[in-house]
Structure 1
Amino acid sequence: MKVLTFDIGGTLIKFAVYDKEKGLIDFKEFEYPKKGRDGILEIISSQADIYEFDCIGICTAGLVDEKKGSIIFSSSAICDYTGTKLKEIFEEKYKKPVWVTNDVNAAALCEAHFGAGRGYNDFICLTYGTGVGGAIVINKQVYTGSNGLAGEIGHIVTHPNGKKCACGAYGCYNEHACTRTLVESCMKININYDNGKKVFEAFNNGNSQVKKEIDEWIDEVVYGLITVTHIFNPPAIILGGGIMKEEYIINEINTRLKEKVMLGYRNVKVISASFANKAGLMGAVQFALERVENDI
């Protein structure tokens, strides 16, 4: 069984081939196409045209109708992407099964079966980058709700009348706790602190101003996790995104969260995701294989 797997994120499109014997091979990254939707379709076709495969698994940013394999809503970051029928387009072109899911749902599925979630039947997964994505895992499966859209934890309102979110609302967790917001704050200190890695280099070099921004941002992260913990009472919350690999971040989140939740909820464990930039790809493979095996 060979699966072509794509991860359509906010800044990059990732690709790999999954081989049952070899795992993920031929990993590639593509810069985000300026042409938006049409550029995405071209990149997928460019790889599907040159590989033999049995099916395609795609994970993507945005709200996804998994049954139809289409994009219900995407922010303006991806031009003309809303309404794109990925499954229909590529099944018609290649006559092979195509499965599409949300990128964070895919990452959660990957962690559940191969990563930090292997020891848990249930957990919450969040990823922090250009926004905040969420997924709810119950019995090793992603819970998607009545019409497939559950888990949009990034749109909990933590700051009424706060920053305007891409969804149109104000004060979403997505805007106040994403890594992008931390980076933007640190760039006011030094224009060169333009990504999470550089921010933490400054922190590790003893920059007190950067530490102040990081500590304030950690509080923003914890505000949302308090709500998540009280609603779901999960044994674990798995946090993804490059910045969540930093030991200081995870330790501080655990400490502050336990200080702020009610007594009966303090057993929750916040842990860093095991998979880095290939979690979505592997999750999309798992999503596709489960459906092929169950003949969905």
Structure 2
Amino acid sequence: MAAAGIDLGGTKSEVQLFDADWRLLDKRRDATPDTYDALVAMLADQVRWVVDRAGGSIPVGVGAAGLVDPDGNAFTANLPAKGRPLPADIAAAADHPITYVNDCRALALSEAAFGAGRGHSTVMSLILGTGVGGGIAFDGQLRPGPVGTGGEFGHTPASAAVVSAHALPIHTCGCGRMGCVETYIAGPGLTRMARDLTGRDWTPETLAAARASDAGAARVWDVWLAMTGDLLLSLVQTVDPDVIVLGGGLSRVPNVTDDLDRALRQSQIAGFGAPPIVLAEGGDASGARGAALAAMNASREGPRDD
């Protein structure tokens, strides 16, 4: 059976059609509109287009940042949909069912099946980009819980030890809480932390490039590693994954997996190891393919009794 996935971002939305062997057959990209009604119309049009290309009804998944609350309303910062029933409205406008999944969870699912997590039972993704999020695939499946916030790693508290040791300010997160780890280790958080520690303006890219030659940049990078290492330790102690798959813009920093491996091992209880930290292999295809796989799995399981 064919399946389709939509990778919905703040600037673009790409729908991809896959055959039964997960080969990419066709794709279409559109700019993400800046109003809710236009967003729903564009996504519904993408759903109708891909169903037409497939020649009939197929599983269709939509992967996007953020959450859906128990009432079916979107909780997202990068789309004009906060507090609106986006999944239901897409399905109604397209006259076709969809499966809506967090984009970080979609990445975990895709990498577990086709990428760096192949052959592993428990695959954890960690996305370090504009925000911080993740997902966990158990035996190739997502296991959503009753609350729906599993994988929101960026909205766990930042390491108190690191905050205290470096006298870091505590900032308000986009979620409304204070002191989330995302406010320190996501791209914008790293830039702000660099300003707090050095008084200078750095981008993540310039900071990473200068860390071997500039003492201020090296200090900021060490603090970032300590903070991220403590987050990784919390995740490893809770889940004990076989592998951690890294994605997002900060995953492109040279040698970042080696640096994070050292940071995790330094945080770990003496005498215990750590799972490998590897880069995602799927690139730009992972989001749409993971959403398609989530939709395929949902179609096989049938409707859930919530």
Work out whether 1:177 is the aligned partner of 2:185. yes
Work out whether 1:113 is the aligned partner of 2:113. yes
The 8 Å contact of residues 6 and 13 in structure 2, kept in 1 or not, is answered as yes
Aligned-partner SS, 1:82: coil
- TM-score normalized with structure 1 length: 0.83
Cα 1:182/1:152, change in 2 over 3 Å: same
Q: Which runs of 5+ in 2 are unaligned?
A: 161-168
The 8 Å contact of residues 59 and 292 in structure 2, kept in 1 or not, is answered as no
Q: Give the letter for the 1:42 counterpart.
A: A
Please show how residues 47-62 of structure 1 align to structure 2 within 5 Å.
Answer: 47-51=46-50, 52=52, 53=54, 54-62=58-66
Distance 2:91 2:79 in 1: 22
Please show how residues 60-71 of structure 1 align to structure 2 within 5 Å.
Answer: 60-64=64-68, 70-71=72-73
Instruction: Tell me by how many angstroms 1:284 deviates.
Output: 0.5
The 8 Å contact of residues 159 and 231 in structure 2, kept in 1 or not, is answered as no
Instruction: Tell me by how many angstroms 1:137 deviates.
Output: 2.4
Please show how residues 58-97 of structure 1 align to structure 2 within 5 Å.
Answer: 58-64=62-68, 70-75=72-77, 77-86=78-87, 88-97=88-97
Q: Give the letter for the 1:47 counterpart.
A: Q
Partner of 1:153: 153
Aligned-partner SS, 1:176: helix
Q: Which runs of 5+ in 1 are unaligned?
A: none
Q: Give the letter for the 1:168 counterpart.
A: G
Instruction: Tell me by how many angstroms 1:59 deviates.
Output: 0.9
Distance 2:183 2:270 in 1: 29
Instruction: Tell me by how many angstroms 1:116 deviates.
Output: 1.0
The 8 Å contact of residues 91 and 97 in structure 1, kept in 2 or not, is answered as yes
Cα 1:121/1:255, change in 2 over 3 Å: same
Matched residue count:
287
The 8 Å contact of residues 189 and 210 in structure 1, kept in 2 or not, is answered as no
Aligned-partner SS, 2:255: helix
Aligned-partner SS, 2:174: coil
Instruction: Tell me by how many angstroms 1:154 deviates.
Output: 1.2
Partner of 2:170: 162
The 8 Å contact of residues 111 and 279 in structure 1, kept in 2 or not, is answered as yes
The 8 Å contact of residues 158 and 172 in structure 1, kept in 2 or not, is answered as yes
The 8 Å contact of residues 245 and 278 in structure 2, kept in 1 or not, is answered as yes
Q: What fraction of aligned residue pairs are identical, expressed as a percent?
A: 24
Q: CA RMSD in A?
A: 2.9
Distance 2:74 2:28 in 1: 27
Distance 1:286 1:205 in 2: 41
Instruction: Tell me by how many angstroms 1:104 deviates.
Output: 0.9
Distance 2:210 2:29 in 1: 29
The 8 Å contact of residues 116 and 273 in structure 1, kept in 2 or not, is answered as yes
The 8 Å contact of residues 194 and 200 in structure 2, kept in 1 or not, is answered as yes
Work out whether 1:258 is the aligned partner of 2:265. yes
The 8 Å contact of residues 242 and 276 in structure 1, kept in 2 or not, is answered as no
Distance 1:246 1:157 in 2: 24
Cα 1:45/1:233, change in 2 over 3 Å: closer
Partner of 1:293: 300
Deviation string 1:209-249 (CA, Å, 9 cap, x unpaired) is 54443333222211211211222222322221132143421
Cα 1:162/1:39, change in 2 over 3 Å: farther
Distance 1:232 1:147 in 2: 18
The 8 Å contact of residues 226 and 261 in structure 1, kept in 2 or not, is answered as yes
Partner of 1:132: 132
Higher relative contact order (CA 8 A, sep 6+): 2
Distance 2:21 2:62 in 1: 21
